[in-house]
Structure 1
């Protein structure tokens, strides 16, 4: 089982890292910098999505506080 897992890992390391290496060669950069860029970009996009989610949740809560539905005239 361990041998099979190592073979799969080696396959993805050989072929997966080659993509960033070719991209770095095309741009004239180091492969390490390309990998770091994609890592930082993935964290930034997750952070932006989370911030939008929290903002929308706050706005919905704020809207519910202002426009509460009153059941009768005596709820004022």
Structure 2
């Protein structure tokens, strides 16, 4: 079960984990709030989630490229 959870977290871009670490709360709680807010607002937080996932991937790519440049 833990392996499945880890796989899903990696494939879901790690946005909830990142936000949970930054706010100091568990990622499970962030996911739960995200689900609740999505139901109330009819899915509009999905756009915010996708934007954040794009931003995190871009940031990771830039960091990898910069570390390779300085080595």
TM-score range, shorter chain: 0.3 to 0.5
TM-score, scaled relative to structure 1: 0.41
Q: Please say which structure displays the higher CA radius of gyration.
A: 1
TM-score, scaled relative to structure 2: 0.43
Larger relative contact order (Cα-Cα within 8 Å, sequence gap ≥ 6): 2
